[in-house]
Amino acid sequence: MQLTTSQVHVNRESYLEQAVVECRPFFDLYSQPLPAKIRVSCGFPSNAKRTGAIGECHSDKASGDNAFEIFISPVLDNPLAVFEVLIHELCHTLAGGFNHGVGFQKHADALGLIPLNSGKNAYKATKGGAQFLPMWQAVIDSLGDYPHKELSLSTRKTQGTRMLKAVCPSCGFSFRVTSHWASKGLPQCCNTESGVDCGDIFVLV
Protein backbone atom coordinates (compact mmCIF):
# COMPACT_ATOMS: atom_id res chain seq x y z
CA MET A 1 0.00 0.00 0.00
CA GLN A 2 1.42 3.38 -1.03
CA LEU A 3 2.42 5.69 1.85
CA THR A 4 3.82 9.19 1.89
CA THR A 5 7.46 9.49 2.83
CA SER A 6 8.38 10.26 6.44
CA GLN A 7 7.85 13.95 7.11
CA VAL A 8 8.18 16.69 9.69
CA HIS A 9 4.91 18.13 11.01
CA VAL A 10 4.92 21.63 12.44
CA ASN A 11 1.92 21.04 14.69
CA ARG A 12 -0.23 18.29 16.15
CA GLU A 13 -3.22 18.89 13.88
CA SER A 14 -1.09 18.51 10.77
CA TYR A 15 0.19 15.17 12.07
CA LEU A 16 -3.27 13.91 13.01
CA GLU A 17 -4.92 15.07 9.79
CA GLN A 18 -2.23 13.35 7.72
CA ALA A 19 -2.70 10.23 9.85
CA VAL A 20 -6.35 10.12 8.80
CA VAL A 21 -5.31 10.44 5.14
CA GLU A 22 -2.90 7.52 5.52
CA CYS A 23 -5.53 5.43 7.31
CA ARG A 24 -8.18 5.69 4.59
CA PRO A 25 -6.84 2.91 2.30
CA PHE A 26 -6.61 0.54 5.28
CA PHE A 27 -10.19 1.19 6.29
CA ASP A 28 -11.21 0.64 2.64
CA LEU A 29 -9.43 -2.71 2.62
CA TYR A 30 -10.17 -4.12 6.05
CA SER A 31 -13.47 -2.54 7.14
CA GLN A 32 -15.45 0.33 5.56
CA PRO A 33 -14.46 3.59 3.85
CA LEU A 34 -14.09 6.49 6.26
CA PRO A 35 -16.52 9.42 5.93
CA ALA A 36 -15.30 12.28 3.77
CA LYS A 37 -15.52 14.90 6.53
CA ILE A 38 -13.41 14.14 9.59
CA ARG A 39 -11.63 16.70 11.74
CA VAL A 40 -9.13 15.57 14.32
CA SER A 41 -7.38 17.67 16.96
CA CYS A 42 -5.37 17.35 20.12
CA GLY A 43 -7.67 18.30 22.99
CA PHE A 44 -9.24 17.04 26.19
CA PRO A 45 -12.39 14.95 25.75
CA SER A 46 -15.40 16.62 27.36
CA ASN A 47 -15.62 13.99 30.10
CA ALA A 48 -11.87 13.53 30.63
CA LYS A 49 -11.81 14.91 34.17
CA ARG A 50 -14.59 12.59 35.33
CA THR A 51 -13.76 9.41 33.41
CA GLY A 52 -10.11 9.72 32.39
CA ALA A 53 -11.10 9.42 28.72
CA ILE A 54 -8.19 9.80 26.28
CA GLY A 55 -10.19 10.09 23.08
CA GLU A 56 -13.57 11.29 21.89
CA CYS A 57 -15.60 11.30 18.69
CA HIS A 58 -18.54 13.66 18.11
CA SER A 59 -21.22 12.65 15.64
CA ASP A 60 -21.51 14.43 12.31
CA LYS A 61 -25.07 15.26 13.34
CA ALA A 62 -23.67 17.56 16.04
CA SER A 63 -21.52 19.46 13.54
CA GLY A 64 -22.55 22.61 11.71
CA ASP A 65 -21.17 21.21 8.46
CA ASN A 66 -21.74 17.49 9.08
CA ALA A 67 -18.17 16.61 9.96
CA PHE A 68 -17.11 14.03 12.53
CA GLU A 69 -15.00 15.73 15.22
CA ILE A 70 -12.30 13.68 16.97
CA PHE A 71 -10.18 14.73 19.93
CA ILE A 72 -7.02 12.97 21.08
CA SER A 73 -6.05 13.74 24.67
CA PRO A 74 -2.91 15.86 25.21
CA VAL A 75 -1.84 13.50 28.00
CA LEU A 76 -0.62 11.24 25.17
CA ASP A 77 2.64 11.90 23.38
CA ASN A 78 3.75 8.41 22.34
CA PRO A 79 2.94 7.93 18.62
CA LEU A 80 1.79 4.34 19.14
CA ALA A 81 -0.59 5.30 21.96
CA VAL A 82 -1.88 8.23 19.90
CA PHE A 83 -2.47 5.94 16.94
CA GLU A 84 -4.29 3.32 19.01
CA VAL A 85 -6.70 6.01 20.22
CA LEU A 86 -7.05 7.49 16.74
CA ILE A 87 -8.03 4.14 15.20
CA HIS A 88 -10.53 3.59 18.03
CA GLU A 89 -12.16 6.97 17.40
CA LEU A 90 -12.15 6.51 13.63
CA CYS A 91 -14.08 3.26 14.12
CA HIS A 92 -16.81 5.38 15.72
CA THR A 93 -17.28 7.23 12.43
CA LEU A 94 -18.24 4.05 10.56
CA ALA A 95 -21.77 2.80 10.02
CA GLY A 96 -23.04 1.05 13.15
CA GLY A 97 -19.95 2.01 15.11
CA PHE A 98 -20.88 5.12 17.04
CA ASN A 99 -21.37 3.31 20.35
CA HIS A 100 -19.33 0.33 21.57
CA GLY A 101 -21.76 -2.35 20.43
CA VAL A 102 -21.44 -5.16 17.92
CA GLY A 103 -20.90 -2.83 14.95
CA PHE A 104 -18.02 -1.04 16.62
CA GLN A 105 -16.50 -4.32 17.80
CA LYS A 106 -16.49 -5.68 14.26
CA HIS A 107 -14.67 -2.59 12.96
CA ALA A 108 -12.21 -2.53 15.87
CA ASP A 109 -11.34 -6.22 15.42
CA ALA A 110 -10.73 -5.72 11.72
CA LEU A 111 -8.35 -2.82 12.38
CA GLY A 112 -6.24 -4.67 14.97
CA LEU A 113 -7.72 -3.43 18.24
CA ILE A 114 -8.60 -5.63 21.20
CA PRO A 115 -10.67 -4.78 24.29
CA LEU A 116 -8.92 -3.83 27.52
CA ASN A 117 -11.73 -5.25 29.65
CA SER A 118 -14.35 -7.97 29.53
CA GLY A 119 -18.11 -7.95 29.79
CA LYS A 120 -20.80 -5.79 28.25
CA ASN A 121 -18.67 -2.65 27.81
CA ALA A 122 -15.41 -4.44 27.04
CA TYR A 123 -14.68 -2.33 23.96
CA LYS A 124 -15.13 1.01 25.70
CA ALA A 125 -11.35 0.96 26.09
CA THR A 126 -9.11 -0.77 23.57
CA LYS A 127 -5.47 -1.27 22.74
CA GLY A 128 -3.50 -2.64 19.85
CA GLY A 129 -3.52 -6.42 19.66
CA ALA A 130 -1.00 -8.79 18.09
CA GLN A 131 -1.93 -7.64 14.57
CA PHE A 132 -1.91 -3.92 15.29
CA LEU A 133 1.77 -3.13 14.77
CA PRO A 134 2.18 -5.37 11.69
CA MET A 135 -0.77 -3.49 10.18
CA TRP A 136 0.07 0.06 11.24
CA GLN A 137 3.82 0.34 11.92
CA ALA A 138 4.69 1.56 8.43
CA VAL A 139 2.02 4.26 8.66
CA ILE A 140 3.23 5.41 12.08
CA ASP A 141 6.81 5.53 10.81
CA SER A 142 5.78 7.49 7.71
CA LEU A 143 4.19 10.22 9.86
CA GLY A 144 7.46 11.05 11.60
CA ASP A 145 7.57 12.51 15.11
CA TYR A 146 4.38 13.52 16.87
CA PRO A 147 5.05 17.23 17.62
CA HIS A 148 3.68 17.22 21.15
CA LYS A 149 4.78 16.52 24.72
CA GLU A 150 2.57 15.14 27.47
CA LEU A 151 0.37 17.64 29.27
CA SER A 152 0.06 16.42 32.85
CA LEU A 153 -2.97 17.32 34.92
CA SER A 154 -1.25 16.30 38.14
CA THR A 155 0.57 19.66 38.36
CA ARG A 156 -2.60 21.72 38.15
CA LYS A 157 -3.52 23.48 41.37
CA THR A 158 -7.01 22.84 42.62
CA GLN A 159 -9.26 25.84 42.93
CA GLY A 160 -9.40 27.07 46.51
CA THR A 161 -12.73 27.78 48.12
CA ARG A 162 -14.34 31.13 47.37
CA MET A 163 -16.41 30.93 50.54
CA LEU A 164 -15.44 33.03 53.58
CA LYS A 165 -15.87 31.82 57.14
CA ALA A 166 -17.99 33.96 59.48
CA VAL A 167 -17.83 33.26 63.23
CA CYS A 168 -19.76 34.53 66.22
CA PRO A 169 -17.17 35.98 68.65
CA SER A 170 -19.27 34.91 71.65
CA CYS A 171 -20.40 31.33 71.05
CA GLY A 172 -18.18 30.32 68.15
CA PHE A 173 -21.04 29.33 65.84
CA SER A 174 -19.86 29.64 62.23
CA PHE A 175 -21.06 29.51 58.66
CA ARG A 176 -19.60 30.21 55.22
CA VAL A 177 -20.61 33.03 52.92
CA THR A 178 -19.44 34.40 49.59
CA SER A 179 -17.51 37.66 49.54
CA HIS A 180 -20.40 39.23 47.62
CA TRP A 181 -22.89 38.68 50.43
CA ALA A 182 -20.35 39.36 53.18
CA SER A 183 -19.86 42.82 51.68
CA LYS A 184 -23.56 43.49 52.21
CA GLY A 185 -23.10 43.09 55.97
CA LEU A 186 -23.01 40.14 58.38
CA PRO A 187 -26.01 39.24 60.57
CA GLN A 188 -26.38 38.99 64.32
CA CYS A 189 -25.96 35.56 65.85
CA CYS A 190 -29.11 33.95 67.19
CA ASN A 191 -27.65 30.70 68.46
CA THR A 192 -30.03 29.44 71.19
CA GLU A 193 -28.24 26.24 72.23
CA SER A 194 -27.25 27.88 75.53
CA GLY A 195 -30.80 29.15 76.02
CA VAL A 196 -29.86 32.79 75.40
CA ASP A 197 -29.50 34.58 72.05
CA CYS A 198 -25.93 35.76 71.57
CA GLY A 199 -26.85 38.92 69.71
CA ASP A 200 -23.26 39.50 68.58
CA ILE A 201 -22.43 40.38 64.98
CA PHE A 202 -20.61 37.68 63.04
CA VAL A 203 -17.03 38.46 62.03
CA LEU A 204 -14.92 37.08 59.18
CA VAL A 205 -11.93 34.95 60.11
Q: What is the CATH number of the domain that holds 77?
A: 3.30.2010.10
139 and 200 share a domain?
A: no
Are 37 and 52 within 8 A, CB to CB?
no
pLDDT of residue 172: 76
pLDDT of residue 194: 53
Reading the chain (205 residues) residue by residue, the pLDDT tens digits are 656 656 788 899 999 999 999 999 999 999 999 999 999 999 999 888 888 899 999 999 999 999 999 999 999 999 999 999 999 999 999 999 999 999 999 999 999 999 998 888 899 999 999 999 999 999 999 999 999 999 987 655 555 557 888 888 777 788 888 887 777 788 888 776 655 567 778 778 7
CA–CA separation, 171 and 192 (whole Å): 10
114 and 197 share a domain?
A: no
93 and 168 share a domain?
A: no
77 part of a folded domain? yes
187 and 128 share a domain?
A: no
pLDDT of residue 26: 97
24 and 116 share a domain?
A: yes
Q: Which long-range contacts (CB under 8 A, 24 or more apart) does 107-114 make?
A: 107/31, 107/32, 110/30, 110/31, 111/26, 111/27, 111/30, 111/31, 111/87, 111/135, 112/87, 112/136, 113/84, 113/87, 113/88
174 and 139 share a domain?
A: no
93 and 16 share a domain?
A: yes
Q: Is the pTM of this model over 0.85?
A: no
119 and 75 share a domain?
A: yes
37 part of a folded domain? yes
26 and 82 share a domain?
A: yes
Count of domains observed in the chain: 2
pLDDT of residue 120: 83
Bridge-based pairing state of the strands 126-128 and 68-72: unpaired
25 part of a folded domain? yes
115 and 21 share a domain?
A: yes
Residues of the domain holding 38: 12-143
User: How many whole angstroms from its chain centre is CA 61?
Assistant: 20
42 and 105 share a domain?
A: yes
pLDDT of residue 192: 63
What confidence tens digit (pLDDT) does each residue in 88-123 have? 999 999 999 999 999 999 999 999 999 998 888 899
Picking from 141, 122, 171, 131, the residue whose alpha carbon sits closest to that of residue 30 is: 131
125 and 32 share a domain?
A: yes
CB atoms within 10 A of CB 86: 21
156 part of a folded domain? no
